Amino acid sequence: MNNSLKTPVENFLNWEKKKSNETFLVQPIDGKYVNFSWGRVGSEARKMCNYINSLKLPDKSKISILSKNCAHWIIADLAIMMSGNISVPIYANINGETAKYILEHSESELIFIGKLEESDWNDIKKNIPKKIKKIDFGYYGLECNFQKWDEILVDQKAELKLPSIEIEDIITIIYTSGTTGIPKGVVLNYKAAGTATKNLDLLFPLSEEDRFISYLPLSHIAERALVEHGGILSGGKIFFVESLDTFPKNLKYCHPTIFFGVPRIYTKFMSKIQSIIPQNIIKLILSTPVIGSLFSSLVRKLLGLNKSRICITGAASISVTTLNWFNELGLKLYEAYGMSENSACSHANFPGNIKFGTVGKVMPDTEVKITEKGEIIMKNDCVMNGYYKEKKLTQDTIKDGFLYTGDKGLIDEDGFLKITGRIKDIFKTSKGKYVAPNPIEMKLSKSNIIEQVCVVGENLSQPIALVILSEGKKIANEVSTNFNSLMNSINDTLENHERIKKIIIMKDNWSIENNILTPTLKIKRDSIEKKYKEFYDYWYSSEEKVIFQ
């Protein structure tokens, strides 16, 4: 590597040398917190690397990691890098057929398997090709007869001669979670990873006192870049979550100084507080300086964010209402913008440069343009090599070095970028008019009654909105009254062809498990269409404006 960029392994070895006996990773197992020192992580990573080398795999082999976030995920990733091979992270809640597709498409030679739900594992295990070598992390209750992590380490030495890594070498292939279609393998090199981490540190200067909590999938680029690579760069501590049920307790134990959350996490935090204290009472309390300050401090402590100096959000749109709500509690949320294809490195709000309702200013050494179609295109050293085995798709996505993001946007007079929708999400009504759903969804999401919303309307005269209510907002009369008023106020701000005709209150939950949400909690529009499209005409013809499914 050149002098200006460091690989995650180089950054790790630097801190291991300085603080070998200090804690790096904190893993809850059966309710107890297990500390992994920098020295232990380094020793186990080198031993596992030596085992990988003993397998005599082809040069630069692909090695998959299939597990929820845990200490061993990061140690395995370090071992893969140390061996000069290429990691292929796989979402832990993926279905068996998709797991098989990724393993075969990536030509993975080896797979690390660890922390999984039993129901997911039952589907996945019968789809793993037999020829792939398998290693079980061994600490997380997986029922299998694969070689165990600790059993392998017993026979391996901790000494290791690291291979030479070039800046253009591939570090990982990340298969996109995908709101549509088959997952695509995003090929990223060490230059992309190093530049993304360097930019993170420039915008949000990191410290070895920082604490990160890893709960969003490490298979996603944002968690990988911010938490894993950022944690390694900073020399801080990375904490993990044992389960969804223990998340609040684990979060409070960690007291993260750097916290990354997708918008739905923040709206859930907000709904939780509002379910305890009505919003009108919160507003009254905050209007009183001394009491308001004490209340804000109490809420931040209740959420486990009282030590957080940087809270970042991204991966989907967040409403200005939510941003303002947290800001009044003394938590400024910095919205950022990126994707797997550019290592999550494009735009960000950051201290001293923040404007709610935008995804911030362009990151260092990044060029951005808006095409005639309104599409955001950008160029920097974080852009992928391309899609694995997809030459035509790569050529359609990267032109003259510019990544065509598929997002629509505009840049204001102060240089802040505002996302106005996805080009592919635009639909045509039966009147032949095009509608961009995202801006309408953002207007609807300002209501604290709504937790999730998807605006649809292909071949309908007017759009309709499918919504999931926030927790505790299930009283039909109250909801109908509020939604009628909300619909009228929003429609007054829209063009005639964009105006919402109906709001449908969905009885189903939208979740990862029922394939409506991606692993990063974005709505899959194609799944919405498949599940509900047959009902659109029926709902549309109803006399009621607000319909309970």
pLDDT tens-digit profile of 401-430? Answer: 999 998 889 999 999 999 887 787 778 787
Mean pLDDT to the nearest integer, 336-340:
94
180 pLDDT above the threshold of 60: no
Domain boundaries, the chain: 8-197, 240-378+404-423, 426-548
Please tell me the predicted confidence (pLDDT) of residue 1. 41
Specify the higher pLDDT residue, 475 or 332: 332
- Confirm if 258 and 212 have CB atoms less than 8 A apart: yes
Domain boundaries 8-197, corresponding CATH code: 3.40.50.12780
- Confirm if 384 and 192 have CB atoms less than 8 A apart: yes
CA distance 423 to 431: 19
Mean pLDDT to the nearest integer, 296-322:
90
Query: Which fold does the domain 426-548 belong to in CATH?
Result: GMP Synthetase; Chain A, domain 3 (3.30.300)
7 pLDDT above the threshold of 90: yes
- Sequence-distant (≥ 6) Cβ neighbours of residue 325 within 8 angstroms: 270
Q: Taking the complete model, does pTM exceed 0.95, yes or no?
A: no
CA distance 169 to 29: 36
CA-based angle 17:240:100, to the nearest 5? 100
**pLDDT-based confidence at residue 131 (cuts at 50, 70, 90):** very high
Same fold, 8-197 and 240-378+404-423: yes
Mean pLDDT to the nearest integer, 188-193:
96
Mean pLDDT over the full length of the chain: 90
Q: Could you tell me the sign of the dihedral formed by the alpha carbons of 535, 540, 542, 547, in that order?
A: positive
Phi then psi for 283, rounded to 5 degrees?
-60, -40
Architecture per CATH, 240-378+404-423? 3-Layer(aba) Sandwich (3.40)
Please tell me the predicted confidence (pLDDT) of residue 279. 86
Please tell me the predicted confidence (pLDDT) of residue 221. 92
Percent of the chain with pLDDT over 90: 61
| 3-state secondary structure at position 189 | strand
